[in-house]
Amino acid sequence: MAVSGIEGAITCAHDPLEMTSSDVVMAHFRRLVTVDPERAARNGLKLYIALGIHPRAIPRDPERVIEKLPDLLKNPSVVAVGEVGLDSGSEIEKDVFKSQLKVAEELGYPVIVHTPRRGKADITPQIMDVIDGTIDESMVVVEHVNMEVLPELVETECMLGLTVQPEKLTPEEAVEILREYGTERFVLNSDMSSAPSDPLSVPRTVQRMKMEGFSRSDIRRVSDGNIGDLLKISPI
């Protein structure tokens, strides 16, 4: 990634293990804020962190994590709450999601929100229902959006994440969306994880944008400008 010109990245808490208890979640968080920034720095990347309970990683005692979240967010590497959201739309997911949104709202942190791979059209409106009245939409990044949900989401004030990853969006599909909807509220990401991923998906998409005549300012907005402004960080 650094060789391709990327100077920084944001990594989110997710579901690398079966999160059976708050102890496992907290161990995951500790790795994110201690081990991973050092690994990234050794390879020429500045790493920023988002912490939160992913909907596929809810432990049996989520309240123990949520009560510690305000202190965890004080770490200087932590810039957002995330990745939080809904996956199946269960009541426990909604309760945990809303609790974390309240923490973010109270402390003034942006939120990175997961939308599911399957059932996206059904679950995304439920996600917006939880967001509504809990946190200002302008503080929210809704991730993994696609043409299935874009018509409704562009009517909100949320930033919209285009995940360029196998089985999600190709660079060509992401560019098609940007050509239709503009670059003002979008951010490109690779969603690097244990799922099939491409660490060069953002540079590939940037190259495609250059080839199709997008301006330098448009490219900068979606590659790092928009998200950098929201999270108050630079460079990415």
23-47 pLDDT tens trace: 999 999 999 999 999 999 999 999 9
User: What is d(CA 233, CA 235) in angstroms, rounded to the nearest whole number?
Assistant: 6
- Indicate whether 197 pLDDT > 90: no
Closest by CA to 179, choosing from 235, 127, 222, 232, is: 222
Instruction: Scan for tokens 């495609």, then name that residue.
Output: 208
For residue 126, what are its two tokens? 């439920």
* pLDDT tens digits along 85-136: 999 999 999 999 999 999 999 999 999 999 998 999 999 999 999 999 999 9
User: What is d(CA 98, CA 234) in angstroms, rounded to the nearest whole number?
Assistant: 29
Q: How would residue 177 be classed by pLDDT, with cut points 50, 70 and 90? A: very high
Q: How would residue 235 be classed by pLDDT, with cut points 50, 70 and 90? A: low
Arithmetic mean of pLDDT over the chain: 95
Q: How would residue 193 be classed by pLDDT, with cut points 50, 70 and 90? A: confident
Distance of CA 28 to the CA centre of its chain: 17
pTM attached to this predicted model: 0.95
Q: Residue 164 is which amino acid?
A: V
Give 159's strand partners.
Answer: 141
Distance of CA 115 to the CA centre of its chain: 10
Half-sphere exposure of 30 (CA within 13 A, CB side): 6
Task: Write down the pLDDT at residue 4.
Answer: 83
- Indicate whether 236 pLDDT > 70: no
Q: Residue 146 is which amino acid?
A: N
Q: How would residue 167 be classed by pLDDT, with cut points 50, 70 and 90? A: confident
Domain 8-231: which CATH number of 3.40.50.1240, 3.20.20.105, 3.20.10.10, 3.20.20.140: 3.20.20.140
In terms of Cβ atoms closer than 10 Å to its own Cβ (0-12, 13-18, 19+), residue 108 is exposed
Task: Write down the pLDDT at residue 88.
Answer: 97
